[in-house]
Structure 1
Amino acid sequence: MELRHLRYFIAVAEELNLTRAAQRLFIAQPPLTRQIKQLEEELEVQLFIRKARGLELTQGGLYFLQQARTIMERLDASIEGTRQIAQLRKTVFAIGFVPSVFFGQLPFMVRRLRRNKNLEIVLHELKTQEQVEALKSGKIDIGFGRVHIEDPDVEQEVLFNEPLIAALPASHPLTCQSPTMAELAEVPMVAFPAGSGPNFADIAQGLFHRRGLKVQVIQQVNDLQTALSLVASDMGFALVPEQVHKLKREGVEFVPVGDEKLTIPVIASRRRGENPNAAMRLVNTILAELVENRLTGRYP
């Protein structure tokens, strides 16, 4: 099996049409069909079901697609890292993050790292599950998210728990008090991010469900800024991490939840069992300082 087999397979799996895949790869269709057949013969697995209107992945094909993408992502990351190191003579250190964690102290960590002339810092906005896959493929070196993910190749560390607050339309009567969970449950909810879990939206809605409260999700959006825009448009409320109040968004009031203290973790994800290099040791040192600042109420 050669790398071109993986590239051909991924193209066909994404297009589910041999003609379109061949055009995308700039090759003729008959050679592509032969390459896919050879791959199936080598694997001794049927990857596609041939249908009149195109192709459909088998269960084996779906699994192989995930593995092939991981291999190609790791290869691309290795190539890019090699080029950057050769060109810049720097160590490339890649960080994955969910946007909500960058309203706290993590930008300070990035600034500290960028002062090191031997480091090239690369940032990738990724959901926590995507961070786990990116760690395994070598695309990133550390990730910062909100959700616990069970994976034997990745270890997660809870840095601290951040309070959750309610973002409400500025004209809403609940801004005059600290609303209870039951009161918030009567207001339509803007959830983020959209898409399959586990994610922040699942955690936020789960806080209500575990208390026997039902919430009406009026809209799911992909990012925090859009969620706040909808709140400002009087569509509903959103639960957000405490540090988000620094945005001071026009038309939005941030208020604490009155009846109990709600928190959400900030989680660092790393490859399990990997000996930290100099860059990672520096990151760990800075993180320890930032966590201490957070826990003791001191901020840089």
Structure 2
Amino acid sequence: MCTERYPMSIDMELRHLRYFIALAEELHFGKAAARMHITQPPLSRQIKELEKELEVTLFARNNKVVKLTEPGRIFLEHTRRLRELLDQAIKTTRKAQRGEYGRLAIGYLGGAAYHLLPNVLRHFRDNHPDVEPVLHEMITLEQLEALSRGGIDVGIMRPTYGLDECNSEVILRERFVVALPSNHKLAGRHEIHIRNLAQEKFVMLPPTPGGGLYRQILKLCLRAKFEPKTVQVATQTRSIVGLVGAGIGISIVPSSVQRMNISNVVYKRLRGVRSYAEMVIVWRKDGETPVVAQFLRAVREAAASLTPLERS
């Protein structure tokens, strides 16, 4: 069994290759030395060392002419490719350090896909085309679990408990509206006081651990001196609004839900409510990589650019 011998260190090898390429392209020791910012004797010595290590004659030379040998020509082809690969590796590594290259796993609530997330992704991809976003639609609790095990890098969710172990930042505040079947007796009103919903049948989110929006809507009703009469539960906002359109009941939802194109549903501003539906971005305290930092910047800029309709 034959084992190849590589006696030079990586530093020496790369230096030898740079000198070799310069001489092979210039075919003149003086010009090659000037290009490499050294004098001719060190260049000549480095080329001789390279030929000795390779046990190959790379150049045919005399006092007047320097020419590549056939082995030298072949070696030049390969070393040029190696140089290109090395240059690309350096560029890519530097881009990764700046957060401009890599992969980003993003968890998000379905509700974010109708207004916030498209703006964020458009802005982020325009400015960071070499970062691959990998999207995972998850409820809040699933996002927290995925963050803890490293399954996602950032999460876009509703505020909830359990965020103390992560960094979090509010990126959006929305008013609440009431979603009604289009033939509902209150559908003709411009706005509705929350107390007028006390006798209505509600389609609600489930009271699951991590269900921050459910608890917030429940508190709104309790402050208005009634507990919502839940007749149907659905885990996704689109399902909730679809059930409203089917006449199953009404629901209190964030105003961005109005962007859903679901028939037989009307939305009315809710009076008597002072709190807002918030959306937060969450990331691990030890997980602010350069790519995550760039994404956070994109989220802030995209959220700031939302129109009044998207915010209210």
Q: TM-score range by the shorter chain?
A: 0.5 to 0.7
Alignment correspondent of 1:59: none
Residues 197, 272 of structure 1: alpha-carbon distance in 2 compared, 3 angstrom cutoff: closer
Alignment correspondent of 2:175: 163
> Which string of whole-angstrom CA distances, capped at 9 and with x for unpartnered residues, describes residues 29-67 of structure 1?
xxxxxxxxxxxxxxxxxxxxxxxxxxxxxxxxxxxxxxx
Matches within 5 A, 1:99-178: 99-115=110-126, 116-177=128-189, 178=191
- Structure 2 unpaired stretches of 5+: 1-95
> Which string of whole-angstrom CA distances, capped at 9 and with x for unpartnered residues, describes residues 79-133 of structure 1?
xxxxxx9xxxx61101111111222222121123334332111111112222122
Residues 100, 297 of structure 1: alpha-carbon distance in 2 compared, 3 angstrom cutoff: closer
Residue pair 1:132, 1:154 contacting (<8 A) in 2 also? no
Alignment correspondent of 1:228: 241
Q: C-alpha displacement at 1:181, in angstroms?
A: 0.9
Which secondary structure does the structure 2 equivalent of 1:92 belong to?
strand
- Structure 1 unpaired stretches of 5+: 1-84
**d(CA) in 1 for partners of 2:114, 2:308:** 18
**Pairing 1:94–2:105 present:** yes
**d(CA) in 2 for partners of 1:226, 1:156:** 28
Residue pair 1:169, 1:234 contacting (<8 A) in 2 also? yes
Q: Percent identity?
A: 23
Residues 205, 260 of structure 1: alpha-carbon distance in 2 compared, 3 angstrom cutoff: closer
**d(CA) in 2 for partners of 1:232, 1:126:** 24
When structure 1 is superposed on structure 2, of 193-202 and 182-191 the one drifting more is: 193-202
TM-score, length basis structure 2: 0.62
Amino acid at match of 2:304: E
Alignment correspondent of 1:259: 272
Which secondary structure does the structure 1 equivalent of 2:305 belong to?
helix
Alignment correspondent of 2:202: 189
Residues 151, 165 of structure 1: alpha-carbon distance in 2 compared, 3 angstrom cutoff: closer
Amino acid at match of 2:268: V
**Pairing 1:250–2:258 present:** no
Which secondary structure does the structure 2 equivalent of 1:175 belong to?
coil
Computing the radius of gyration over CA atoms, which structure comes out larger, 1 or 2?
Answer: 2
Q: C-alpha displacement at 1:193, in angstroms?
A: 4.5
